[in-house]
Amino acid sequence: MSIDGLFPNLTEENAGQLARFEDILKLVWPLKGKHRDQLKYDIRDMSRSLTNERSTRRKEYMTDAKFLSPYLYYFLPWNLFRLSRLFSGLEMDIPENGHVADLGSGPLTTVLALWMARPHLRDRRLDFTCLDIAPKTMNTGVKLFQALAGKDSPWRIKTVKAGFLDHIREKADLIMAANAFNELDWSGRTTRPQAEKLAAHLVGATKETGRILIVETGVRLSGRIISEMRAQLLEKGYKPIAPCTHALDCPMPALGQGAPWCHFNFSTKGAPEWLNAISGEASLTKDNASLNFLYLSPGGAPERGMVRAISEPFKLHGGKGQYACSDRGLTLIDYPAGTRPLFPGQAFAPEWPANRKIDLKSKAFILPYKSRGGK
């Protein structure tokens, strides 16, 4: 059975880049003794503000200096780990002299991760326009990038104080927005108009042959954002490259509390020891990381009728089950006892049963998994 997948394990070289990032942080943003001792509490406080206290958090929180240290030492490296796993599994071939626009750039998270994860791009002359409302955070990111890549890197970075919908002068070969759109108000009737405006802006800022990449945090809200953005971008002529295996309606749109939503969990194996240590100090250890994303272009990827595993496996009448996405809608992969389930993000060519069966609980199409080659 032919199987391909997203989120491959980190290469040794990529893991090494993440491991040495601690030294880069200490060089660019050193912490004195008392500030280093306080770091675990600052990380905890910021984590609460990004989750439990989300409704009371100022939108401009990244302009606040007290948030920068915990962000740089905890949230940034975990985002670099997530994005490294994602970028290494996507086809991301930016042409020589290509232009990349990065919305909500923060400390240049996506630029740093792209350099770490895609070494074949490091010698190309690329122009990056990074936009954020927090210039100090972006300037810190520029320093981090220079320490990582060297000041002679052919990547040319321009930072612009701007919001998500502000004009981008040069159309992009790739436009990215990572952990950005969740900052906006997606409540009630704002959802569709918000997505319409953002989709129109992204398409207008991208070359005819360009690509759009949206990455979010892997929570239910971001699943709704991704689904709505997908619908709007499809209307504007864009088609999915990944993770979707088709350009039909999303079967996991996060509509309602119990409804399925598209996101991926993967192991934190390969994360640097220093980051695991800081996470432990803050009582925020991670066994797995999660995200959801959408990667599109005008042509999209060829539709081959693949089924992509989405959820983690779970017990199902003596064997295992796993929710998946296919051009038939929400799909429940039914694994016989003793069969090793797929990892979230893996896709395969299915053999659909002649008689269609529907799972009573989820209304998903049931797809018996026929293993080959010891899978």
Residue pLDDT, tens place only, 105-153: 999 999 999 999 999 999 999 999 999 999 999 999 999 999 999 989 9
Q: What is d(CA 298, CA 239) in angstroms, rounded to the nearest whole number?
A: 6
pLDDT score, position 150: 96
> How confident is the model at residue 80, as a pLDDT?
98
Geometric angle at alpha carbon 122, from 119 and 125, rounded to 5°:
150
pLDDT (0 to 100) of residue 61: 56
Percent of the chain whose predicted confidence (pLDDT) is above 70: 95
Residues 177-191 have pLDDT tens digits of 999 999 999 988 889
Domain boundaries of the chain, sorted by first residue:
3-297, 307-368
**What mean pLDDT is reported for the chain?**
93
Residue keyed to tokens 């991704």: 226
Alpha helices in the chain (DSSP H): 12-28, 33-50, 65-70, 76-87, 109-117, 135-149, 191-204, 220-235, 273-281
pLDDT tens digits for range 26-61: 999 999 989 999 999 999 999 998 876 444 444 555
Residue 372: pLDDT over 90: no
Beta strands 329-335 and 365-368, pairing class: parallel
User: Which pLDDT tens digit goes with each residue over 318-350?
Assistant: 899 999 999 999 999 999 999 999 999 999 999
The whole-model pTM stands at 0.94
How do strand 206-216 and strand 239-242 relate by DSSP bridges? unpaired
Q: Which CATH number fits domain 3-297: 3.20.20.140, 3.40.120.10, 3.90.550.10, 3.40.50.150?
A: 3.40.50.150
| pLDDT average, residue stretch 198-226 | 96
Residue 53: predicted pLDDT: 46
Secondary structure class of 323 (helix, strand, coil): strand
- The candidate with the shortest Cα–Cα distance to 86, out of 234, 274, 295, 284, is 295
Return d(Cα 213, Cα 265) in angstroms, integer: 19
- Tell me: pLDDT of 290 over 60: yes
What's the whole-number mean pLDDT along residues 340-366? 95
d(CA 367, CA 331): 7
Mean pLDDT of 193-200: 96
Please, which residues bridge with residue 355 across strands?
none
DSSP 203-233: HHTEEEEEEEEEEE-SSHHHHHHHHHHHHHH
| pLDDT the model gives residue 60 | 55
Separation of alpha carbons 294 and 285, rounded Å: 27
Confidence of residue 13 (pLDDT cuts 50, 70, 90): very high
Query: Can you tell me the distance from the alpha carbon of 135 to that of 207, in angstroms, rounded to the nearest whole number?
Result: 26
Q: How far apart are CA 183 and CA 105, in angstroms?
A: 13
> At 375, is the pLDDT very low, low, confident or very high (cuts 50, 70, 90)?
very low
User: Using CB atoms within 10 A of its CB, is residue 274 exposed (0-12), middle (13-18) or buried (19+)?
Assistant: middle
DSSP secondary structure letter of residue 261: B
Amino acid 116: pLDDT: 98
